[in-house]
């Protein structure tokens, strides 16, 4: 099936311009914060947050002292928002770019998934898993949250289930964790998976 090409940069920029950003938690979500807390002291790890939006995870990591955090998004507005909130976040780490076109000079150690996968047309899910693997070094980690629920309205967000998702990731990743998150934000409670996958 061909992906819906209308979910492009203009679509997303309009959503921000119109304030239609119901996904925006306004803060780092507890599962991600807890995961980062157990990483230990800040280090050289190269971290990418794709489809980052206002990128509260990047703000959190930057303020903790992690120097090598990148964010990528199709829409300029949320990247400007991050710049306003965190003026010393490195401008060259703000990538106004299509995730599927990213070709970094160096591979990443960690990719962070927060409400990006569900924003993509489901036809792109196999390509999402492939591109995540492409961007990571062997042994690198894809970590974050995936909805494990269906939505009554047409997407985005597009729902799905763990049974559907597994085959997308299995060719490239070992599954370290793939289970219902225990500390999701209120309305998402019981409806999302916490995933931690290691690139083969």
Determine how many CB atoms are found less than 10 A away from the CB of residue 15: 21
Strands 94-96, 173-180: pairing is: unpaired
- Residue with the shortest CB distance to ligand SAM: 53
Q: Is 23 in the site for ligand SAM (CB under 6 A)?
A: yes
Strands (E), 15-157: 47-50, 69-73, 94-96, 108-114, 136-147
By CB under 6 A, is residue 98 in contact with ligand SAM?
yes
112 lies in the site for ligand SAM, by CB under 6 A? no
Tallying the residues shown for the chain, one arrives at 200
Q: Answer whether 59's CB lies under 8 Å from 81's CB.
A: no
> Considering only residues 72, 111, 129, 133, which one is a binding residue for ligand SAM as defined by CB under 6 A?
72
Q: Which one, 12 or 108, has the nearer CB to ligand SAM?
A: 12
52 binds ligand SAM (CB under 6 A): yes
The residue (of 112 and 197) whose beta carbon lies closer to ligand SAM is 112
Copy the structure tokens of residue 71.
């964010």
Measured in degrees and rounded to the nearest 5, phi and psi for residue 66 equal: -75, 120
Contact pick of 51, 122, 140, 159 for ligand SAM (by CB under 6 A): 51
Which spans of this chain sit near ligand SAM (rule: CB under 6 A)? 12, 23-24, 50-54, 72-75, 78, 98-100, 114-116, 119
């Amino acid at each position: 099936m061909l992906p819906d090409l209308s979910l492009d940069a203009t679509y997303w920029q309009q959503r921000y311009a119109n304030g239609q950003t119901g996904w925006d938690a306004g803060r780092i979500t507890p599962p991600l914060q807890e995961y980062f807390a157990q990483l230990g002291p800040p280090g050289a790890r190269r971290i990418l947050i794709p489809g980052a939006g206002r990128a509260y995870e990047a703000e959190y990591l930057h303020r903790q002292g992690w120097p090598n955090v990148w964010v990528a998004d199709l829409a300029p507005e949320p990247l400007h928002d991050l710049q306003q909130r965190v003026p010393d976040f490195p401008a060259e780490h703000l990538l106004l770019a299509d995730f599927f076109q990213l070709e970094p000079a160096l591979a990443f150690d960690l990719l962070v998934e927060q409400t990006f996968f569900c924003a993509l047309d489901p036809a792109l899910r196999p390509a999402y898993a492939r591109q995540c693997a492409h961007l990571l070094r062997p042994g690198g980690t894809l970590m974050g949250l995936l909805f494990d629920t269906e939505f009554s309205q047409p997407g985005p967000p597009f729902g799905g289930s763990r049974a559907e998702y597994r085959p997308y990731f299995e060719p490239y990743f070992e599954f370290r964790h793939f289970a219902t998150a225990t500390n999701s934000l209120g309305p998402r409670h019981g409806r999302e998976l916490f995933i931690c996958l290691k690139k083969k």
